[in-house]
Structure 1
């Protein structure tokens, strides 16, 4: 199956797909494996109850036959009908109790399947390599799987269990009906043919509607996010966007309801046709029973039992095809899920190779070239830089010059298209990616603000290790965050978000210090800081960089900044432009050279001195 998301293409694939017995077998096997792996004990219990319920249905038929025989006998008495009555009551109770228990079991099984699916989906989403994760095809598939991760597995579960229970009941009731009259079973089976055709048509129409309405539903969901999102709330109120956004949301919802009404009407008419045809076929079976009684081929008692069996069997036939319809409708989800879960396999080279060294003396890049998927212009082209142990090295340049991309490659988040990165002469392509990333800590400008405690926000820097309060406090002190964190209501255990009870929010500068503490807590030999002072005021920025060397404690630092005043103390500065290194040296040497760095530095200095933005 392709990764296409075009609605017309998906619909064409669905129409061309044959709903064959072979496909049905595959879907049933997939569904069974899904349920058994998620809740094996509940699955077995459900099967036992279904068999018991099927046997009880047959017991009801035989009990009705015995009861009618006793009631129609010339010497009828209470003793003659007591046993059939008791059997009928018992069988009815078993069916009722089994149905009630199965309802709760289906709920538990559905939740177990949903949990299993979320675990697998989130496992893939968090493990797949960054280049794959950022691709449009993967994001499209991830969105589809997430949208179905709760509803579709539950639907498959319910459809499978309903079909299995109905199938068991059909087999038992069919055998029971044969003992009454072999001619009745084909008539009842014929009643299932219209339901089969209707079920197939409804499945195709349901999927077609889902494909056609997906773009509209996604856009509607986006407007709902704008109206309810915490990050968007300030601007929505500042620009009074609420009425306009609600109008767009309501309009999209109304469009969806118009399409839904038409779809529901078509399905309703289709269902009416199928049910009417099926009822006529069942009516033929009942007429046949009357005809056989009139012709002396059936006793009245057998006829009564036959009527009960026919009614029970017709209900189970509908349940069987209803369950199969649910499985058919979820076929696309199962296929999509299977393709998505293939990403769970460890990416090539992720664990292959030797373990990265604990420390290094020198990191070098040679001819480093990299392009993002779908782009023709390289983000990096022939980049050569050197990082020595204990140095503070800066990357500067205008937006889009390749600074953050270079940081991602050095951190092992991307593999270069050309060139190499070496640690003490060893190509990192020969090192396992996971061990390399373990030796690097990265603080990106758009770092995550976890709605967790302050302590957790810091220790996620090395979450695999046991909590060390002293180490957490030391990292917070080194970043300048300890003072304000200790003044919080619950100190380091205070949630850093007002969306949870007892939580507080921090300023942008305070958050930046917490994120820096996270990077220092990781205690990796290479520290990459992307705009680490972007949210700091000038005084806080000066204090941060004045203490940077002591905070790093001998670790190598590569920091990216647009503020040229903050890089003056770096041991070496690389100037990037359009993905290439155009200058290299310390601050004084670059100023004396009068090149690109000096030009940008003087432009910023002029803005500070005159108070006007450079032109």
Structure 2
């Protein structure tokens, strides 16, 4: 499966009243069960094998219990039908008449104790295995998500699919227990049916009358439940979003000042009420039809039970036979329903498995080359955009087209332009988060597509305006810039000094060990400008050949910005750098400036050259300068 959805996956949301998945589609989804079993087997072979072994033993217990119960009843009837062996228990015991019944009771007691212990131990094994599997799936989900392209995370459709997969990551391990339980029940059915068939073969024919209606109803409602849940994924994501921003430290100030509390509560209530009404209707329908089908099952059982009682009265069955047959029929009836209902539930669960495994089937479109070339270190010639064109997926508008320019080695290049001019798109292409649709990008003559993505990222240090504020320690917040050296404290301290973050960290109670953010206990939050210095430290931590700063000083005041870029210029003399900024006090420090408009280069040159040109750059510079006069 490619990263492009098939029509069946991206069609309109089905009505909550009728599922749209065909029976063939549901059968096709059963293929995921094998993948689930393999995944759980990988999680822990010995725990999975132990769970299977325990269920094999448990499968034989019901028929053994029923048969021992039959023998006890027959022995009691025999003893009550003969002369008393004595007037008290001691005389009865001495006569040896109670030996057989004592043995049978001991066996039954051992079976009861053994059944309880087996059930508890099986539950323990399943619980441990389920926890391990949940962790395994979550890890595999994160690993696969890390392999996917940026395009997947900038698409609402893929966000829905990721959300559905994330919901299934923890909670599908119980499906293995259900599958093994099905196998256990089927073995039990075979043993019980053999005994029932021996005494009254035609009773088995009554069983379908008791469970077929219930199977039909369960299948229908499981399918309806899945499609309601799947169809409401966008609304559920909205609910999670509203819940997050409605009770978050990051949004609290603005929500209070703008008085958004009531608005968010009402939006949440409206969305939640819509989902609640759909689920309530489904639950009520399931309950009503379930009661009807249960009545049919009960009626069938008592018809069979009445027949067995009559055959016992007529002398064809013993009292023990009556207990064994009625117990076997009742157990068989329940097991048949449980097995077939289990299959419908498993089929229903396989629909949810499709949400999980179909996400794993999404493949990245930015692929490594068959024969990769190394990233040039150091960069000697420079970076060339050769007639590059690119448009974002599912859009008709070109973000950039026919773009050609050269970034010379050891040069600092500034990109200027209004929002949407293509500045950040250039950065995404340069870091190979996307591949161009037209043209090519080369570094020292080597096409980016001929290099390993990991190699490119290892040699480029990028700080975006919307950098992540990690709820980690101050040292770790800088150390993530080069994760393989995240425990190298001297390197972290050097990066902090270069970005001027060292003065920020010096004020923290625990210095570099201070947890940042307010998400966890004892965390200390920073101002926007302080966070930005921490983030810039990540670029220095990487010590990359190419440094890209996308609006890196937006939260800094003019003085702090000047300090940061003065330090940057002095430290980046041997580096190749790209700067995106709306502040001309920053831009003027660059060796060369590209003025972009609608994805094309409008002007190019140094700050002085562009001012002398008297074009768009000079106009924008004058507008900004006027604001400071």
Give TM-score, length-normalised by structure 1: 0.92
Aligned partner of 1:388 in structure 2 is 408
Quick check: 1:464 aligned with 2:469?
no
Matched, 1:307 2:326: yes
CA RMSD of aligned residues (A): 2.4
User: Distance in 2 between the 1:591 and 1:412 partners?
Assistant: 33
Q: Does 1:492 align with 2:497?
A: no
Say whether residues 1:61 and 2:76 are aligned partners: no
1:138 matched residue in structure 2 = 158
CA–CA distance in structure 2, aligned partners of residues 19 and 115 of structure 1: 29
Matched residue SS, 2:251: helix
Contact 2:383 2:442 in 1 (8 A): yes
Counterpart residue number, 2:441? 421
Q: How does 1:319-338 map to 2 (within 5 A)?
A: 319-338=338-357
**Residues 453, 130 of structure 1: alpha-carbon distance in 2 compared, 3 angstrom cutoff:** same
Q: Judge conservation of contact 1:60–1:87 (CA < 8 Å) in 2.
A: no
CA positional deviation for 1:189: 5.1
Describe the shift of the 1:213–1:512 C-alpha distance in structure 2 as closer, same or farther (beyond 3 A).
closer
Matched, 1:442 2:462: yes
1:32 to 1:424, Cα distance in 2 relative to 1, 3 A: closer
Structure 2: runs of 5+ lacking an equivalent: 1-5, 85-96
Equivalent in the alignment of 2:570: 550
SS of 2:628's equivalent in the other structure is helix
Native 8 Å contact 1:129 1:347 kept in 2: yes
Q: Secondary structure at the match of 1:573?
A: strand
Secondary structure of the equivalent of 1:367?
strand
1:576 aligns with 2:582: no
Taking the TM superposition and a 5 Å limit, the aligned residue runs for 1:203-242 are 203-211=222-230, 213-242=232-261
1:226-248 deviations in whole A, cap 9, x for unaligned?
Answer: 31133221111112222332233
SS at match of 1:547: helix
Q: Would you say 1:83 and 2:103 are equivalent positions?
A: yes
Q: Does 2:420 align with 1:400?
A: yes
TM-score with structure 2 setting the length: 0.90
Q: Any gaps of 5 or more consecutive residues in structure 1?
A: 610-615
**Is the 8 Å Cα contact of residues 209 and 300 (structure 2) preserved in structure 1?**
yes
Distance of 1:23 and 1:395 partners within structure 2? 51
User: Residue 587 of structure 2 corresponds to which residue in structure 1?
Assistant: 567
Of the three residues 124, 127, 131, the one matched with 2:144 is 124
Q: How far 1:225 sits from its partner (Å)?
A: 2.4
Rounded Cα–Cα distance in structure 1 between residues aligned with 2:17 and 2:437: 37
Deviation at 1:486, TM superposition (A): 2.3
Q: 1:6 aligns with which of 3, 8, 12?
A: 12
C-alpha contact 1:351 1:432 (8 A) present in aligned 2: no
Instruction: Say if 1:32 and 1:160, in contact at 8 Å, map to a contact too.
Output: no
For 1:249 and 1:135, the matched residues in 2 are separated by 23
Cα distance, 1:417 vs. partner?
A: 1.0
Number of aligned positions between the proteins: 607
Q: Structure 1 residue 571: deviation in Å?
A: 1.1
**The one of 77, 82, 103 aligned to 1:72:** 77
Alignment match, 1:612:
none
Bigger drift between 244-253 and 539-548 goes to 244-253
For the Cα contact (< 8 Å) 1:443–1:532, is it kept in 2? yes
Using the TM superposition, give the Cα deviation of residue 190 of structure 1 relative to its aligned residue in structure 2, in angstroms.
Answer: 4.4
- Superposed CA deviations along residues 271-312 of structure 1, whole A, max 9, x for unmatched, are 112211111221222122123323443222212211222233
Give the direction of change, closer, same or farther, for the CA distance of 1:15–1:421 in structure 2 (3 Å limit): closer
Distance change (3 Å), C-alpha of 1:498 and 1:222: closer
Q: Is the 8 A contact 2:186 2:339 kept in 1?
A: yes
1:16 matches 2:22? yes
Q: Indicate if the aligned counterparts of 1:498 and 1:505 stay in contact, CA closer than 8 A.
A: yes
Q: Which moved more, 1:567-576 or 1:522-531?
A: 567-576
Q: For 2:411 and 2:152, how far apart are their aligned partners in 1?
A: 33
Q: Which residue of 1 aligns with 2:535?
A: 515
From 341, 355, 361, give the equivalent of 2:360: 341
